[in-house]
Amino acid sequence: MRILFLHQNFPAQFRHLAPQLAARGHELVALTFNQPPPTPGTRVVRSSTTHATGAGHPWARDFDTKIIRAEAALQSAKRLRDEGFHPDLIIAHPGWGDALFVKDVWPKARFALYCEFFYAATGTDWDFDPEFRPVEDPADSGARSRLRNLPQRMLFDIADAGISPTQFQASTYPPEMRERIMVCHDGIDTAQVAPGPAQSLTFSNGTVIEQGEELITFVNRNIEPYRGFHSFVRALPSILERRPNARVLVVGRDGTGYGAAAPQGTTWRQHFMNEIAGRCDTSRILFVGALGYSMFLNVLRMSTLHVYLTYPFVLSWSLMEAMATGCAILGSDTAPVREFISDGKTGRLVDFFDHAGLADRAVELLGDPAQRARLGAAARARVIERADLHSVVLPRQLAWVDALLAASPRVDDPPV
């Protein structure tokens, strides 16, 4: 069978599924806008565009960008069609608009969506944090969130099925969409992502961290409020005062991720570290930027306590990886985290905004190695039970693909 993937950062969430499908003998093609790493058995076709977003209504610019991308992907799809490529199944991430028109090229293909998140004006990320809540009329927020979701609504009209990595993320979709979504995590290779001996860490500034040191770890792809960096930093003076031997290691880039950019001329790291300047020994807080994967896993194996905070939003792979390595987790009491961390069983939870409570709970855990060991072992067991790549995820994902390939497509004629 022929399978087409659409994802601007391919392989991304399909990094495990695509090679498995290729190994089964399927012919795979990926349409993407970025240069991906090599993916065994997959032909990559890159789309590009010279169009720029127009200067129309500000609310329309996001959708305009998606239409520009969709038109570029459409041209790539037509070239593939003219070469004789006709997919039996299309699996697409709907978030960037790339997939909007591919069903017009291949109307008889089965069509499935990776359902990462459906925006809402209330109840999830948009209005969660009063400190960074958009200053606008709620009616405006509702209008803007519906516009952000418009590509997904258009695609669900013609989609046969969806897949979402967590129950929380699936729950953000309207009922008429949710009934077609299977929940299955992207998968953690718990044989590789596992407890084990760690090597001492040496960084470019000469800092060395040895096995056995009291180390608090915090990981963001981009250091920003969406992942609770402000709450974490505000807890550090109290933690470091009460745990004089503790050190803090922060993994992540300075940059804009999911939320707004930092105030002009600064970064979120600088902005919040300025808040605690003079209140603690900041030389004990080490920012190491982005790390290679083996170094990242080594950091987790060195961790005494791993802190993970997030808005009600997409759950980070880093939490699951920290759990799989047996870290003791201190997480935010928010819906995505509660799905995997049960307070007192697989980790501890604290109110996202309660930095004093976060400090108290961190100090408690740092002083209780027996509790940390118990929580870390239970955290790893939960990941193995729910998200182990080989025993849980790939069998479910492959069965999902098989069912789609065996089914008739939802729409047999081109959409109008």
Q: Render pLDDT for 98-117 as a digit per residue (tens, 0 to 9).
A: 999 999 999 999 999 999 99
167 and 219 share a domain?
no
172 and 268 share a domain?
no
Q: Both tokens of residue 331? A: 């997480």
Give the count of domains, the chain.
2
Judge whether 252 and 228 are in contact, CB under 8 Å.
Answer: no
SS3 of residue 245 by DSSP: coil
- Residue closest to 160 by CA, chosen among 106, 97, 89, 66: 89
78 and 214 share a domain?
no
Q: Which CATH number characterizes residue 224's domain?
A: 3.40.50.2000
Tell me, yes or no, whether 62 lies in a domain. yes
- Residue closest to 167 by CA, chosen among 311, 340, 393: 340
User: Length of the chain in residues, anyone?
Assistant: 416
381 burial level (CB within 10 Å; 0-12, 13-18, 19+): middle
Tell me, yes or no, whether 239 lies in a domain. yes
pLDDT greater than 50 at residue 149: yes
- CA torsion angle for 35, 38, 42, 45 (degrees, to 10)? 20
115-124, 138-147, 160-169, 191-200: range with lowest mean pLDDT: 138-147
Identity of the residue numbered 373: A
Rounded to two decimals, what is the model's pTM?
Answer: 0.94
Domain residue limits at 61: 2-187+390-406
174 and 218 share a domain?
no
State the pLDDT confidence band at 269, using cuts at 50, 70 and 90. very high
Tell me, yes or no, whether 280 lies in a domain. yes
294 burial level (CB within 10 Å; 0-12, 13-18, 19+): exposed
Q: Both tokens of residue 191? A: 């044989």
pLDDT greater than 70 at residue 414: no
138 and 240 share a domain?
no
300 and 366 share a domain?
yes
Ranges assigned E (strand) in 227-294: 247-253, 285-287
SS3 of residue 152 by DSSP: helix
Q: Name the residue with tokens 């718990």.
A: 190
SS3 of residue 75 by DSSP: helix
Tell me, yes or no, whether 21 lies in a domain. yes
- Residue closest to 252 by CA, chosen among 286, 283, 301, 280: 286
120 and 153 share a domain?
yes
150 and 222 share a domain?
no
- Residue-wise pLDDT for 72-102, tens only, equals 999 999 999 999 999 999 999 999 999 999 9
Say what the pLDDT of residue 141 is. Answer: 81
State the pLDDT confidence band at 55, using cuts at 50, 70 and 90. low
Share of the chain above pLDDT 70, in %: 98
SS3 of residue 57 by DSSP: coil
Tell me, yes or no, whether 196 lies in a domain. no
Task: Evaluate the omega torsion of the peptide bond into residue 11 and state whether it is cis, within 30 degrees of 0.
Answer: yes
